[in-house]
Structure formats: structure tokens, C-alpha cells
Structure 1
Amino acid sequence: MTEHSNLNEWDRRELLKALLGSAFVGLSSGCRVPTPNFSGELLAPDFSFGHRLRDGFQPTVNTEDWRDVNCVIVGGGIAGLSAAWRLQEAGVSDFVVLEIEDKPGGTALSGEVGEFRFPWGAHYVPTPMAENRALIHLFDQMGIVESLSVDGDPQIKEEFLCRDPEERLFVNGEWIAGLYPSSIATDEDWRQLAEFRAEIDRWVEARDEQGRRMFAIPMSAGSDTPEVVSLDQISMADWMSQHGWTSAPLRWLVDYACRDDYGLTIEQTSAWAGVFYFASRIRRPGDESQPVITWPEGNGRIVDFLVSRVADSILCRHAVCGIAADSDNSGAGVTAFDLASEKAIGFRTPHVIFAAPQFLAPHLIDGFVEARNVTPFQYGSWLVANVHLRDRPQNSGFSMCWDNVIYDSKSLGYVVSTHQTGADHGPTVVTWYYPFAVADPDISRQQLLELDWEHWSEVALSDLEIAHPDIRSLVTRIDCMRWGHAMVQPRPGFVWSDARRLAAKPFRSIHFAGTDLSGIALMEEAFFHGVRSAEEVMQKQEIAFDSIL
């Protein structure tokens, strides 16, 4: 391993081997990263104000700049927007959403260039099952539910389901249908795959004494029996080894699933989270996973809908500086800083919904450090690259799909933004994903965050070139988004820890939302906690409502 502390000083071969893995072991020694002949930029959430607070900046709110409001929502991601939507739907309009970025959405943010829309993060939602009443209600409002079955399961309108072909895998020099590496599987590999599926089906079929599924979305609708909870104490890799599943294709498939949803390898992922990935998305034993709902802009479509309902209450470029909640639960004062006017403003409110990640709470909430421990919460970083192409790359084997994955690469491959539009030829944008946790362990997260645009563009392009040798000549632009604390990580022992369970409980008059409260970073979990926290506030204020949870 090189001694360079700055990855920007590494040569191309060193960088690609460290970040992309065995697919580049045979790469001949390369020179410096080439200068690209296309444009682009490196984007990232705004950390600058946080650094100002860290360095001692404490803005003062003038007396005349305080205002009274019924509820302050901190954070404009899916959780915060969902809380706002739920309040608005119940007839509560006196609230404000404070969002530090230029646009709300968090990791469900989307982008647009010309005729193309594309995701910057979360890009799909599995069709919800009957137990996810609140999400079905939202999707019905969005106009994507055709009907409900007698059991309450939704039938989604065809145009919102991922159209065929959905997914493919590049292995042994060609594309094949599906994500299981069937072209290299032996009879023993197939036997172990069948055993694995049978074990997942066992979890799918089982119900606890309360009639709950063992694994459900949201996770709070699933079981908390000792058999289920004990899975959290070991890694997914150890759980598979206990069953004797050593098949390389099977372990790759499960590892890919963990990297895809959690940004972790099977060695790093809780077995509870690993089994949850599969079992929570299968309605009945023997079924395939629930159909995928998606749009060209990914979950940005959901963000746009929620924003359309509460836009007048959202204050973007407003950074929360501090939250002081009264010890008698009578209310709180929230200080924010308008980054556009460089002016501090204050809000007096009976209730706060903290829809930001837990790691920020000790820095923003007075008295929180003495009451709660958020150390067990760990977060993963990601790099997302949107690659603009003037035409489709050449193809070897199965045709281009919505989801396109490269076997043995540490990336997650790419999704095609134009897939849902039916445009299978001509210009497009492909969205490439890379979780930092899978990089060479000798490389720190901070080193990866310091990589510049030229290097990330080269990493993304080099990965894509494995399957598309001609793709470099088709690129017109590459934009990269660097997510520093994008997803909570369900490492062994965390999901069912006391710290995780306590985090969702109110602290004085502050209620909490956010996907990290579930220990897994899913849109459905963020939405659930947003709705739950809003209903908690309405209950505390004795506002009449019918719960949609």
C-alpha cells in the first residue's frame, strides 16, 4: 500500500485497485489520472456552517426576530417533509420546516439537466404491503395506487412499476439477466441458493404470537421475539457460515444486497439486517420480491409531491444553531441562521420535531449529551456520479436494464434514468453508486472525502469501462455527489440496542424522526418516523385525528 496520505497523489492503478477491488488486479501500472475531455463538478451537502459553529460562532437573535409557531421541524429530508405533510393533512398549518440546503429532500434529492431528470441518492421503493398503511395512503394521494385487495395490499398502476427488463449482471465478459451469477454457478452453488431461499421463505411464512410478520416494513410492524432479535448479535457472514453456505455466487449476491441497502459488506452487516433485506420484501413463501416502484428522478418524485403540499412552510438555507427545550416539557426555543441574509432568527414553540440525524443532536440540543448516548450510531459515506451520455454504449449479451451491476466490482453499478420513459436508444444519464465502506480498509473515510472531481470521475468511468469499453467516448458530462454521512449502518449489535430504541422517544418537548431511528436507511423508515412524530405532537396538543399508522 502506498504511503501517500492524499489519494489525489496516487497513480491510476493504485486508486482503482483500492476502490474497485479484484476487477482491477490485472490492470497494468497506470500513469496519473488523465485529464477528462468533458465537464462536470463535485457536489456535496453544505458543511461550512457546521464548521463555523464548531469553531465557536454563536449568532444572537434580536428580540424583534423571535416568532411563535406551533411546531418547528428541523430537517427537510423525507422524514421532515413527511412530518410536515402529516400535520398539514390533519389541518395543522402553523409549523415551519428548517432546511440548511438550497433544496429539501436530503438523500432523496434529484437533479435535472435539460430533458433529463435523475436521482442523487435513493431511487426506488418496493411496493408496500398491507401493514404499511401510511405509505399506501401517501401513494394513493400521489395517484399511483390502482386499487386495494381485500387484505389491504395495493395494486400499483403499471406506469409506476419498473418496466422490464429490470436488472442484469456483467460477469465473465457478458451481461446476463438477473443479479444471480448463474453463468458461473455449479450444481453445488444452485443447491446452496435453494437452501438459502428456503430459509428466507421460512422467515416469510412465520408469524409471532401477536400475528406479526417476523420482518416487515416499517420494521416496527415486524416481530421483536428473541429468535428475531438474536440475529442482530452476529454478522450476516457468520450467519451464512453457520448454515454452511460457502458458495461464492450466493455470498456475492447477499453481499451485494447488503452493500446496496446499507453500504456494508456481509462481514460488516448485522444478520438481522441481512435477513430483513430479503424476508421483508416477500409477501408469501415462493414469491419474488415485491415489484419496484420508481421514476426517472428516483425518490425525488416523492420529495416533489411532499414539498408541493407544504412548500409555504419550508425555509431553505436556514441552519439550526441551537435548541433549548424547557425541562418541564412546556416548550422550546429554536435558534436558526438565515444563510442568505446572514441573520439569526428564533422560534418559540411548544414542540420540536428533530428530523435530522442523531449524530447532530448532541451539538444542537441543550442538555442532550447528559441524557442520551448516540455513540453507537455509525454512518456511511457514499459517492454518486451522474454520467451523461450522447448515446448508449455497445452491449455484450443481455440488453440494458434499469439496474446494471458488475460482478466483483465494489461499486453497485448504475441505474438508467431514461428507463422508465421507454427511451431505449439515444442520449441518457446513468447514475453510478459507490459506498465508502467497501474501499480498502487501509483508506480512511476522510481520505475518500478529500478525493477531487477528476479522481472520482475516473473511478466511475474506469468501473463502467469493465462492461462498456467504448463508454469514455460517449461521455458529455459527469457530476459527482459526495454524501458524507448518508446512511446509518446496521452493524452487529446496533439495530436492537438500547441506544437505538431509546432514540425515538421524546426528549422533553423534542420529538425525533429520521431513518436512523430504525437502524436502517430506507425511505419507508424515514416516512414512518416522520408520520409517527407528527402524530405524537398532535396527541400532545390534544388535536383530534385518526392515525394512519
Structure 2
Amino acid sequence: MELTRRELVAAFLGSAVAASACRRTRPREPVPGAIVDRAVDVGHKLRGGALPRAAEAQAVDVLVVGGGVAGLSAAWRLAAAGVKDVRVLELDSEPGGTSRSGRNEVSAYPWGAHYLPAPLVDSGPVVRLLREMGAVTGLDAQGYPAYAEELLIREPEERLFYKGDWYEGLYLRAGASRAELAELERFEARMNAFGAARDAKGRKAFAVPTALSSDDAEWTALDKVTMARWMEAEGFRSPRLRWLVDYACRDDYGTTAEGVSAWAGIWYFAARQDGKGERSEGFLSWPEGNGHLVKQLLSSLAPGQVERDVLVHSVEPVEGGCRVDALEAATGRPRAYRARQVVLACPRFVAAHVVAPWREKRPEWLGAFQYGPWVVANLTLSEKPESHGFPLAWDNVFYESRSLGYVVATHQALRMDERGPTVFTWYLPMAGLDVKAEREKVLSAGYAEWEGLVMADMLAAHPDIAPLARRLEVMRWGHAMVRPTPGFLWGPARFAAQESLGESLHFAHSDLGGMALFEEANWFGVKAAEKALKGLGRSDPSWL
């Protein structure tokens, strides 16, 4: 049954946005554009049964399968160790995974992850990468890393749209009662206490990456209940605070507090601070978002080391290493490799089809991994639209929409009083608990439907935006983010998935950390690379 315009908007963005859209009767011309993803179609070839195999296999010391952040981090670590014979095979035409970026005549812009929280500690691979790119300028008086001023998101950083007006920050303080503000203060105090908590070994209860967190039962027991249930049990019932926590869960995990564990929900607020609240360093960002970090990782590799448009369909452990079979995505021509060490840097749902022993006998733990879909759209504008209330910020959030709103790609490059062209990057996590149904909704909508949805969302906040819109491009991420569902982060499945298969096949991806974040992908990429170094007979000091 075909949905009406109002029903479509309500199904994807909620009733408030649908009601706003239906109040607007002035006709507008559709914004020209396209759906630009294609990896969905190419990747689904893995479901089609036996694929052709090449007779001859190329020899390589280390083969990295997957050119997302985890795979590129593995290759970066291997390059630093002096390993020359490394090849990275990437399915898409551009590496970076959900940290990919694009560019047009106006600006670079992200296709997914668009910022990196400034690390608190001067250790680990993320800070090493930031130092390589000149982002770390030294240490402050407390020993925290200091960052280049131009990389820190400048003011105004964030604002919230509610019933016709924009307000500063992400908590809706306008109209909040004393009781609601007191509840917010109590919640922040609890999160600060979690941020300061340490176990007997000195480990943070909630750390970045998750692998450095305490495994004491006092904290890990929080993984067994949802964040929503924990909030209720603790007496946090204010709709404004519940909205803020839901927003946090949608932002980092792609679903609401009903779908993530309390450990994950608390981690969002506690892990990236030292127990004293928000750190002033804030976030690091670039017009292309985390695509800038992808470029830095790529710069460590020699030309030709990353091969694009290559679909790997089989990795089979054999004597002395692994045989890897692949297809050229454009021509269908088969390729084969014989690698001494392999880093398989793809999510578990892909690995289930690729790892030969797993096709024969599917590991039980694979079912514990759930992935939520996202949609990201980049809207190019001839100039910035008008705003009522607090001025345009870097992050612009819609309180009454299921989308997250948009970030401004040109925020770091332009003064906010300039009226020039810009690009708004719009984010929609498909947050429903039934990930399969959500994925089907994402893939069933065509460009016309997505154009209508994006513009309905934008017009509610910016009634004058339609004549300013020049082009809209839409990216669908069918399996964008692993979800930290209750029992997953500290359950056996995630840890079983981290184990190498034999001495030559190692795994890397953000899903091994249970959170689709740059720090997790980078950590597991480096970890897998160091396992591969050991497999090559190397004993290099660890970066972890």
C-alpha cells in the first residue's frame, strides 16, 4: 500500500514533523540530486552462492581486507613497523567506511562520522595519529594533551530547535521547571561520579576505548539492563532529561535508551571526562569530518597499496597463511592471494559469509551482533537560511524529529555572519528495535521519498530554505552501526569474536568494541596488526 506524504513523513520522522509539513501548502520544486551509495548492491553478491576463483594466487606478506578505519589503522601500524609487502582490499571506490567524505565546489563534507572527541590522555594510537598530523601542540598544566585551536569546534557549538525557535545547547532549558533542572543536576553529578570511578587496579570504570575499562562486576552488571530501565529505577523521569539521554544513544549507537544497555548509556556521559564534568577541549572536527583522519591514515601507505572496487568473498586458512579469493567489482574478474597474515577488517555479518570455516559451521556468537541502519544526506545551499532564536551552530538538532538534525560543513571555515554558500549534513538513525524492518524501510525508499523527507525536516526549522537548495545527495548505510544491546558489551559473544582463527587470520572492526566509534575501530585495527606482526616473527613494542 502506497503511503500518503503525511504518512511517509510520520513513519520516518515522527508525527510532529508530519504535522508541520502538512501545514505548508506552498508548492516547491524538487531539489535535484541522487542516492549515491552502491556498496549495498555490490556487497549483496556475497549472498549469491559460489563465485569464480582465480587459478593463480599472488603472494603477499599481509593482506588487509576492508579499507575502513579499522583496516587502514592496521595498515598504518604495519607501515610504521616497516612492513612493506602490505595490501589493502576495499569493496567501495573510496576507502574510509562510515568515515568517508565527499567534496563539491562549495566545501568538503562528511558521509558519516563528523567529529572526534579530543582524547584526555597522552597515550594510545589515537593520540599518536593526532600527533602525526600536527593536531597535538603539547601538554597543558594538568598533563592533558593540548590541541591546535583551529581544529577545536568553535562557538556556537550546538543548538536545539523546538516549536519554532532555536535554543542554545542540547538540554531544553526554556520552560524547564525547578524540579526538572534539579533532576538534570542530579543526573550530571551521577555521570561525573561514574567518570571519576576507578577499580582496585586503577582502571577507569568507563574508559576510551572500551578495552581499557574495568571488568569489575560492580560496573559490568549495568550491561544487563537497558538504559531506559536504569533511568526509571534511579528516578530520572523528566521528559527533557529522557529526551537528552535518548538523543545521546541515537547519536552514538543509532537507537534509543530502550535498545542499549545502561553500561553503554552511562559510558556516553562518563568515559570522555575525568569526573569533573565536560572538558573544555571538546571536539575536533574538519569540513570533511573524520574523512580527514582517513586521509592521514592513507598518507602512511605507498601508492597502490590500497586496491579499490575489490569484493573479497572467501578467506580460507591454509598451511603457511590464508588463501583469499576476490572479484573486481566492475568487471567480475576473479583474483586470488596467498597471504602469510590476514587482517579481516569487516563487520561480523560480512565475515560470516567470507570466512570459509564459518560458512561450513556458523559460530553461535554471530547472532549477538546487531547493526542499525542510518541515512546521511548532504544538502548544498546557495546561502545560509534564516534562523529564529539562537544563531546557526556547528551541530543543529531537531527536538521533535527522529532525525538528529544537521551539522554545517563550512562551520570551521566561515565566520557565522557570512552569508555565503554552505553544505548541511543531515543524519537519520533508524532507531527502531527491529533492525531488519528498519533496514527494509531505508532501502525501499527512492530518491523522491528521501528528498521529500529531508526537505520536510529542514523546512520545519527553516521555512525559507527551499529556494536556497541547489543539490541533495543521499547515502544509505544499511548496517551502519553495531548496537550495544543489553548483555552484549560484557557478554561472551563479543570476546569470542575477537579471537584469531589459527595463527594467520586476525579480526578488526569497531563492532569488536561494541560501539561504532573511531577510537574502537582504530584500537582493534592496531591490535590485529600487532598480532600479524607477531605472526611474521616480529616482536615490536605495542602501541596499545
Q: Is the 8 A contact 1:108 1:303 kept in 2?
A: yes
Alignment partner of 1:390 is 2:385: no
Shift of 1:209: 0.9
Deviations 1:349-402 (A, max 9, x none): 121101001111121111125362311100010111101111111111111000
1:48: which partner in 2? 41
Shift of 1:221: 1.0
Alignment partner of 1:352 is 2:342: yes
1:362: which partner in 2? 352
296 and 318 in structure 1: CA distance in 2 versus 1, 3 angstrom threshold: same
Greater CA drift, 238-247 or 446-455: 446-455
1:491: which partner in 2? 485
1:314: which partner in 2? 306
Structure 2 CA distance for aligned equivalents of residues 256 and 286 of structure 1: 19
Structure 1 CA distance for aligned equivalents of residues 129 and 42 of structure 2: 34
Q: TM-score, normalised by structure 2?
A: 0.95
Could you say what secondary structure the match of 1:437 adopts?
coil
1:380: which partner in 2? 372
151 and 68 in structure 1: CA distance in 2 versus 1, 3 angstrom threshold: farther
Could you say what secondary structure the match of 1:360 adopts?
helix
2:226: which partner in 1? 235
1:331: which partner in 2? 321
Structure 2 CA distance for aligned equivalents of residues 501 and 476 of structure 1: 47
Alignment partner of 1:454 is 2:448: yes
Amino acid at match of 1:398: F
Alignment partner of 1:205 is 2:200: no
Q: Is the 8 A contact 1:324 1:366 kept in 2?
A: yes
Which of the residues 414, 417, 424 maps onto 2:406?
A: 414
Q: TM-score, normalised by structure 1?
A: 0.94
Could you say what secondary structure the match of 1:312 adopts?
coil
Which of the residues 53, 59, 72 maps onto 1:81?
A: 72
Q: Is the 8 A contact 1:319 1:337 kept in 2?
A: yes
Structure 2 CA distance for aligned equivalents of residues 450 and 216 of structure 1: 39
Could you say what secondary structure the match of 1:70 adopts?
strand
2:262: which partner in 1? 271
Structure 2 CA distance for aligned equivalents of residues 440 and 289 of structure 1: 38
Alignment partner of 1:162 is 2:162: no
Shift of 1:40: 0.5
Alignment partner of 1:504 is 2:498: yes
Shift of 1:173: 2.0
Structure 2 CA distance for aligned equivalents of residues 456 and 248 of structure 1: 29
438 and 471 in structure 1: CA distance in 2 versus 1, 3 angstrom threshold: farther
Structure 1 CA distance for aligned equivalents of residues 88 and 482 of structure 2: 22
Q: Is the 8 A contact 1:132 1:217 kept in 2?
A: no
Structure 2 CA distance for aligned equivalents of residues 438 and 408 of structure 1: 16
Shift of 1:299: 0.3
Q: Is the 8 A contact 1:282 1:290 kept in 2?
A: no
Alignment partner of 1:219 is 2:214: no
For residues 513-528 of structure 1, what are the structure 2 equivalents within 5 Å? 513-528=508-523
CA RMSD of aligned residues (A): 2.2
Structure 1 CA distance for aligned equivalents of residues 193 and 307 of structure 2: 48
Structure 1 CA distance for aligned equivalents of residues 175 and 181 of structure 2: 10
Structure 2 CA distance for aligned equivalents of residues 13 and 361 of structure 1: 40
Shift of 1:283: 2.2
Structure 1 CA distance for aligned equivalents of residues 42 and 73 of structure 2: 25
Amino acid at match of 1:78: V
Which of the residues 516, 525, 530 maps onto 1:530?
A: 525
Structure 2 CA distance for aligned equivalents of residues 377 and 28 of structure 1: 37
507 and 131 in structure 1: CA distance in 2 versus 1, 3 angstrom threshold: farther
Shift of 1:544: 3.6
Deviations 1:26-58 (A, max 9, x none): 458699998843310002242334433422341
Amino acid at match of 1:436: M
Shift of 1:407: 0.9
Structure 1 CA distance for aligned equivalents of residues 24 and 153 of structure 2: 41
Which of the residues 534, 541, 544 maps onto 1:546?
A: 541
Which of the residues 272, 275, 283 maps onto 1:284?
A: 275
Structure 2 CA distance for aligned equivalents of residues 165 and 29 of structure 1: 31
Alignment partner of 1:116 is 2:107: yes
Amino acid at match of 1:472: A
